[in-house]
Structure 1
């Protein structure tokens, strides 16, 4: 039967059921750092262990040792045991491994009721998961420091240490034959425990893997030997992922995708399943979701299935709705595990401080079953003996009653300001007048003169109150109203008035909103800057600050990873733009200076231009007269030429040419 998953990445509490079919014990870690061991049948508290550093190094994971052999072997054969110890070791699990946020692992003995040993010096970060080997007594652990360690539980020393992933390793799981180890961070790796080499890798989750569970199906022919790989499957779940993937481990075929998946309404918190003895026997799966519902699956692993499978039945718990309640309220289921008969379930519901255990056999014919339980009565019956030992305090008449609020903002109220039944009856009849504002302020012991001098009522830190209310109730409407402000002074004042216990929840809420729209991310950065500036001293005192702010750091690192490249590109673009602007400016200045200051033209060109202008100015009507005048001129010239020729001839022949010329 598979072990209970108690991964720190899941949204549920850190708890683990004892191995074996009876599931007699439940180890549960509360938020105050205490580890309590409860009996599942009677519901009584058996033991309570308070680590010395429970406030600074809280419990992160739990795992029971298989059987009771480990605690008995270390004592040695020479030491005699008491009968009660021997009976307890034989009937129940003895050793409980507790992983802490400081990196150490504590081995607590349930039979002795004390810390047996501690494993120190292996991990440098928070321990995410611890798993016992079922045969050799070794303990395997993984941490935020990216390493996997094989511990020798008898000598409390590191047997082997190797790097499991580039990021933090979130969970581990050992195969049923004890020869292979599954580790998961961003990717799932199957290791050979002898050689510490990777046998296979599986990728299929977009987020970090939070749970790993092995299961097997025997071959139909019982005479066929079982080699440990054939018929071997494992189930994986991721953070904020609503699908549970089932993978098949086979040596001859290496599938890249999951063979099937189970669909859930919310992220899984606790997972437990049964091991089938044959291929025909279905595998049963009990999953507790974040919304507090228990989903029961039943399926035969016989091949691929593309469509996600839906749960056969759903179990939820609610109150009766009596004792002044208007309607039944849901009660969250914390964890569940199968018993030896593979039919009945042991599930835990209520609070981590006072849980309630119950056994149930789910039926496939009932798709949804709601159990009505009165959790208040069970808590009253359980704590009745403890309450009677508390003395009732004596209150004097001079004591002042303080109004609920933040420390430093509470106001003292006088007994006269309280409304009695008589005044209430008079007010209903109309005999009593309504109290004025000044009288109310006077009854609240506020100096009215100072209020009037300041010009109004005292201002309250409403944004800080709204922010705390929104964080405690997870009301998105209130948080959106507060986070929409853009004034830096208002943001700083709100963060400064914020109580210390609300700083970490506010950082988690801002981290979620940073993953949304870029506009909202711009607003969230202002709040983060104010928190780191004003509450740096408080954050530096937290020992588990690195895992708490790991998601925010990775988110900011992803966003600024390309900042250097973008700055270089911005510089190159700036140089190109300045060069283009300078060249355009130079071209514009050159074009303006190309106009000539002096133009010189020759005379021939002027005459030709004048002739052309004159020819264009002449009208078409004068061209006939000009031709006639030209003809007469030619005639006159021809006659004159003839006379001139005759005269020449006569001059040559006549000696008295001079006289003739005179006569003419």
Structure 2
């Protein structure tokens, strides 16, 4: 295991000059541009633009510190950040889950038990549980120290993703068996099995009020379900290929989806209306995540990049380069912190 750090510097967006950018008159953009318009001569120290510690903006991502967590011997398919932001969990092709100390970059524990690739991990809202799933079709629950608690079985094909409800009482899983399941965390019983997709389900998410479940599928659709009854509320169409990533905004008013068609779509989950289509990735989009303050969307792609999008203007803030293989997972912390996992066998911590 090795911890490495480097500093990235953001260029101006294509087609934006220093003069024209200064005329925009927006405080956050002025901060970003004034940084980007500094001398391009390399220096040993980089002055980062001032930014609110609470808000994530263009200014915040002018310069980025990157910590690399190395230790897996296979692709890192999924990463999760504990609610206290003290631990990172990573799920890997090597059939293990690693718990990392965020402050030191050291491996706290390697969790073993899965008999095939581990494709997803998720922390419970109180941080006391970790859930994992993968190609062995099982869901495993672990305590905060990484000790096994329970194994849930029921899916008949690869289990692909996991999400806890905000109250921690329900765990949602999705599978190539074309179903999603809602599990009672305390008992391990299945509350609901959601059926209707015509293809395997890549990912699932549950709304902040835990009343709605979203699933995205190889059948190119997004389905929104009533978490209590298991009934389909609406089906969203518009992607031209498989939909493989989904996330609710922290306030529940927006849904983001990522697709093999290289686009990200923003939806109103209450009406099903399409809000915006974001383009920029040059290959399929594997993961999407909202920042805690609902200002920024992160997306990780097969093109090896992470892209940060302004949710007010629906424009690209910047592209983060550093992974040398496809990015399979991205997740935000409560502040300006982003965690990513990649097929290059590493996880990275990005901070302005």
Common fold: TM-score over 0.5: yes
Matches within 5 A, 1:167-316: 167-185=199-217, 186=219, 187-215=221-249, 232-239=253-260, 241-251=261-271, 255=273, 258-263=274-279, 264-276=281-293, 283-300=295-312, 310-316=315-321
Matches within 5 A, 1:315-464: 315-317=320-322, 335-341=329-335, 343-347=336-340, 351-352=344-345, 355=346, 357-361=348-352
Q: Which structure has greater helix proportion?
A: 1
Give the TM-score, by structure 1 length: 0.39
RMSD: 2.8
Partner of 2:118: 59
Partner of 2:162: 130
- The answer on whether the counterparts of 1:151 and 1:160 sit within 8 Å (CA) in structure 2 is yes
- The answer on whether the counterparts of 2:98 and 2:107 sit within 8 Å (CA) in structure 1 is yes
Distance 1:163 1:348 in 2: 30
User: 1:576-608 CA distances to partner (integer Å, 9 max, x unpaired)?
Assistant: xxxxxxxxxxxxxxxxxxxxxxxxxxxxxxxxx
Give the TM-score, by structure 2 length: 0.70
Distance 1:216 1:156 in 2: 27
Q: Which runs of 5+ in 1 are unaligned?
A: 1-11, 68-92, 218-227, 277-281, 302-308, 319-329, 362-664
Partner of 2:147: 114
- The answer on whether the counterparts of 1:39 and 1:46 sit within 8 Å (CA) in structure 2 is yes
SS of the residue corresponding to residue 268 of structure 2 reads: strand
Partner of 1:36: 98
Partner of 2:197: 165
Distance 2:305 2:347 in 1: 15
User: 1:240-297 CA distances to partner (integer Å, 9 max, x unpaired)?
Assistant: x21101011335xx53xx2212112332233221254xxxxx7212223223223221
Matches within 5 A, 1:70-89: none
Q: Which structure has greater strand proportion?
A: 2
Structure whose alpha-carbon radius of gyration is higher: 1
Partner of 1:156: 188
Q: For residues 44 and 317 of structure 1, do their structure 2 counterparts lie closer, same or farther at Cα, with a shift above 3 Å needed?
A: same
Does residue 1:145 correspond to 2:177, yes or no?
A: yes
Q: Which runs of 5+ in 2 are unaligned?
A: 1-74
SS of the residue corresponding to residue 267 of structure 2 reads: strand
- The answer on whether the counterparts of 2:258 and 2:288 sit within 8 Å (CA) in structure 1 is no
- Aligned-pair CA distance for 1:64: 1.4
Distance 1:129 1:345 in 2: 19
Distance 1:314 1:152 in 2: 39
Q: For residues 234 and 145 of structure 1, do their structure 2 counterparts lie closer, same or farther at Cα, with a shift above 3 Å needed?
A: same
Q: For residues 359 and 63 of structure 1, do their structure 2 counterparts lie closer, same or farther at Cα, with a shift above 3 Å needed?
A: same
Q: For residues 204 and 19 of structure 1, do their structure 2 counterparts lie closer, same or farther at Cα, with a shift above 3 Å needed?
A: farther
Distance 1:347 1:160 in 2: 31
- The answer on whether the counterparts of 2:179 and 2:195 sit within 8 Å (CA) in structure 1 is yes
- The answer on whether the counterparts of 1:43 and 1:357 sit within 8 Å (CA) in structure 2 is no
SS of the residue corresponding to residue 311 of structure 1 reads: strand
Q: For residues 289 and 58 of structure 1, do their structure 2 counterparts lie closer, same or farther at Cα, with a shift above 3 Å needed?
A: closer
- The answer on whether the counterparts of 2:172 and 2:206 sit within 8 Å (CA) in structure 1 is no
**Does 1 or 2 have the higher relative contact order (CA < 8 Å, sep 6+)?**
2
- Aligned-pair CA distance for 1:163: 1.5
Distance 2:325 2:243 in 1: 27
- The answer on whether the counterparts of 2:82 and 2:88 sit within 8 Å (CA) in structure 1 is no
